[in-house]
Structure 1
């Protein structure tokens, strides 16, 4: 789901991506195969893709799939767009990178593809809501996620916490219990600005992402009016962190949590494979973030973590179609879902990992809320504003800045 802000210049990244791409939109190399470039905006799932690609190439020996998965992929793909150097297939989240590409007219309509029928209709509809040309289908939903709380089961047992909290007050009570026992209640990784959005999206779920965005655009509300309690709760949570909340990055945080530092970790299910890489024996669980004291209002924040698009630039539509069809098959999607600890948009694919049992009821009952920031203007730069809020802890300045930057974007249209 996430858009990492990693160190490196755009120029260096775009050059690296171009080198990795080879013949990004075209043709056969000296090996006599047709090469298609598969560009992924997530680095965590690269090993899973590599194994799926090996399987695909065995079954299709005349096609070679070249995986490109650079850091800061959103910036790289924007740079490549300006240079007319787009890959054949793009795997991204249902985020601003995707919607900007869809609105640019550079993606192919996949509405008539048979592999679309492998996907649950609710997720197809979710994708179509997110860009202006809603009659077309510019992305095939694949993996879905849960943005909530990961917890250490051994710490729960040590602290005598019998069940996961269902309300805000219960959560605060558990945080107080952890703090009193000398534990780090929440392990934060706010050095990477995007990780602050995990907390914001969770706390803001009851506000209603799409309705707030509509009302804000129509001048019916402001961040000052609707996000005052959200800001207060973010500051409350930050107090339960460690001594260096803003000095630890996401990768280091995964390792630290794997090593037993922290009882709770505000992250999506995408972090679980990374934590288990650092410590395969870590005993983890998950639960939806309890943003209020009304259990009925507390929903699991979820969205499409991966979808597949084809660019109009591809000269190998047939091969690109074949690869997406392969990925969207039940067998391939089940492999991805199991390895990446995700949930699937593909019909018939289940997630049976006990680590994720805490999210099952939410998905089964449709007790889901959208990501607040997916409805923010692309150029709002909310992660940096939220990060600054955690640094300065000035609620009024934070909400004023969010309103001002939103309005500035709106006035440019």
Structure 2
């Protein structure tokens, strides 16, 4: 989900061009008279699944031809196409700031009249709502597949030693002490790659702060200095249970070390499992919700929308695009995607859950989930580097310095959005 610093300029220009006349590529017909629907997906790793889905759709529809493209750097390509007024009919995009910015530019169609939208789990509809930079009536994305992040653990190692999955913060720290006393490294972090710092940060934050904290700050109703203090304290405590100098090892190092049994646990998302199993295909991996709180009832699973579909407002094939979305939301089609990519179905239903996520099942079924906080951070702010810098800072005032900088930088990099929010609030009054 790479975010480019040029994003805002491109989006503003794309928004200006929306008023122009129609675009190439929309309303096209194939040589045999079928309506051509083009979809761009930002997930090149899922190309095999999308090829199966595309083939299955085209075999079962006589009046519509579907083309799905999954290029590298899809978001950058989309920005360029938007500027050129060359719009696809559908985009498959993650639930992050790229989606938020495209929505804010007025690019997406309101899908409120799409019948299958009501089949989506409420937790993911709530996440889509919170991705709106400014409150806006309507639904503009169909959540499709989600991932989950907590703590991966070596199930065989836990079973051999009689270690139990912790459900509270005190149980977790006690477990880390017990594992360390047995001569095993409790955690592997791999914080050389700054983005990996965000895995435990997000997993802690969803249980310790409100899911809409970024919106609260933009409205002037809260500060990060207050909201993130406990999250910052606890992520720093993790370092004491990790490998020596975790800033010398990156994501690949951490995956390899965990796969080789060099640590009992690894605080990372489910997306790391394929990488780990490429080193140790037979590893028995489990994953549990980060026990951030003193009461299990207060814990929240960190789960975000990894893929959702939006229809471009400028598409001339809205009815055909809706038919594609209905097909994508059929149980059999969703299972094709999950079998290839893993994850969690955003649609209600009895879908097969990856065995590595079984310990998270109750949270998923109860809807005790909240989005990754960094899905709401502007890329220019480089929060991952800020967190790494804070963790490296051993000074007495490191915590206050970090929190003050978080608030200051937020105001700096979100000043336009904050101004728009203030204007919105004034209109509501």
1:319 Cα deviation from its structure 2 partner: 4.1
1:326 Cα deviation from its structure 2 partner: 1.5
Residue 387 (1) aligns with residue 388 (2): yes
1:151 to 140, 150, 153: 153
Residues in 2 aligned to 1:340 and 1:63: alpha-carbon distance in whole angstroms: 24
Pick closer, same or farther for the CA change 1:35–1:389 going to 2, 3 Å.
Answer: farther
Residues in 2 aligned to 1:347 and 1:387: alpha-carbon distance in whole angstroms: 38
Structure 2 partner of 1:409:
413
Number of equivalenced pairs: 396
Structure 1 partner of 2:280:
279
Given that residues 190 and 249 in structure 1 are in contact (C-alpha distance below 8 angstroms), is that contact kept between their aligned partners in structure 2? yes
SS of the residue 1:204 aligns to: helix
Find the structure with the greater CA-based Rg: 2
Pick closer, same or farther for the CA change 1:222–1:64 going to 2, 3 Å.
Answer: closer
Correspondences of 1:74-223 after superposition (within 5 Å)? 74-131=75-132, 132=134, 134-158=136-160, 160-210=161-211, 212-223=213-224
1:400 to 399, 404, 423: 404
Given that residues 258 and 279 in structure 1 are in contact (C-alpha distance below 8 angstroms), is that contact kept between their aligned partners in structure 2? yes
Structure 1 partner of 2:346:
345
Residues in 2 aligned to 1:85 and 1:259: alpha-carbon distance in whole angstroms: 48
Pick closer, same or farther for the CA change 1:32–1:155 going to 2, 3 Å.
Answer: farther
Residues in 2 aligned to 1:387 and 1:239: alpha-carbon distance in whole angstroms: 15
Residues in 2 aligned to 1:109 and 1:358: alpha-carbon distance in whole angstroms: 36
Pick closer, same or farther for the CA change 1:281–1:28 going to 2, 3 Å.
Answer: farther
1:79 Cα deviation from its structure 2 partner: 4.5
SS of the residue 1:383 aligns to: helix
Structure 1 partner of 2:330:
329
Pick closer, same or farther for the CA change 1:334–1:217 going to 2, 3 Å.
Answer: same
Given that residues 186 and 263 in structure 1 are in contact (C-alpha distance below 8 angstroms), is that contact kept between their aligned partners in structure 2? yes
Residues in 2 aligned to 1:347 and 1:117: alpha-carbon distance in whole angstroms: 9
1:40-70: CA deviations, max 9, x gaps? 3334433333332332233347624232242
1:102 Cα deviation from its structure 2 partner: 1.1
Given that residues 41 and 91 in structure 1 are in contact (C-alpha distance below 8 angstroms), is that contact kept between their aligned partners in structure 2? yes
1:288 Cα deviation from its structure 2 partner: 0.7
1:77 Cα deviation from its structure 2 partner: 3.7
1:200-244: CA deviations, max 9, x gaps? 112222332345335433445422233222212111112333346
TM-score by length of 2: 0.80
Given that residues 166 and 295 in structure 1 are in contact (C-alpha distance below 8 angstroms), is that contact kept between their aligned partners in structure 2? yes
SS of the residue 2:246 aligns to: coil
What stretches of structure 1 of length at least 5 have no aligned partner?
11-22
Residues in 2 aligned to 1:30 and 1:104: alpha-carbon distance in whole angstroms: 34
Pick closer, same or farther for the CA change 1:271–1:84 going to 2, 3 Å.
Answer: farther
1:66 to 49, 68, 74: 68
Residues in 1 aligned to 2:242 and 2:90: alpha-carbon distance in whole angstroms: 40
Structure 2 partner of 1:16:
none
1:151 Cα deviation from its structure 2 partner: 0.9
CA RMSD of superposed structures (Å): 3.3
Given that residues 145 and 269 in structure 1 are in contact (C-alpha distance below 8 angstroms), is that contact kept between their aligned partners in structure 2? yes
1:234-274: CA deviations, max 9, x gaps? 11112333346335444554444334343212122233344
Correspondences of 1:209-288 after superposition (within 5 Å)? 209-210=210-211, 212-243=213-244, 245-251=246-252, 253-288=254-289
Residues in 2 aligned to 1:278 and 1:5: alpha-carbon distance in whole angstroms: 29
Given that residues 192 and 247 in structure 2 are in contact (C-alpha distance below 8 angstroms), is that contact kept between their aligned partners in structure 1? yes
1:159-207: CA deviations, max 9, x gaps? x143201111221222233334443422224344332222111222233
Given that residues 210 and 375 in structure 1 are in contact (C-alpha distance below 8 angstroms), is that contact kept between their aligned partners in structure 2? no
More displaced 10-residue stretch of structure 1: 346-355 or 299-308: 346-355
Structure 1 partner of 2:47:
46
More displaced 10-residue stretch of structure 1: 229-238 or 55-64: 55-64
More displaced 10-residue stretch of structure 1: 184-193 or 300-309: 184-193
Pick closer, same or farther for the CA change 1:259–1:33 going to 2, 3 Å.
Answer: farther
Given that residues 343 and 354 in structure 2 are in contact (C-alpha distance below 8 angstroms), is that contact kept between their aligned partners in structure 1? no
Residues in 2 aligned to 1:244 and 1:51: alpha-carbon distance in whole angstroms: 45
Residues in 2 aligned to 1:45 and 1:38: alpha-carbon distance in whole angstroms: 13
Structure 2 partner of 1:20:
none
More displaced 10-residue stretch of structure 1: 302-311 or 319-328: 319-328
What stretches of structure 2 of length at least 5 have no aligned partner?
8-23, 420-429
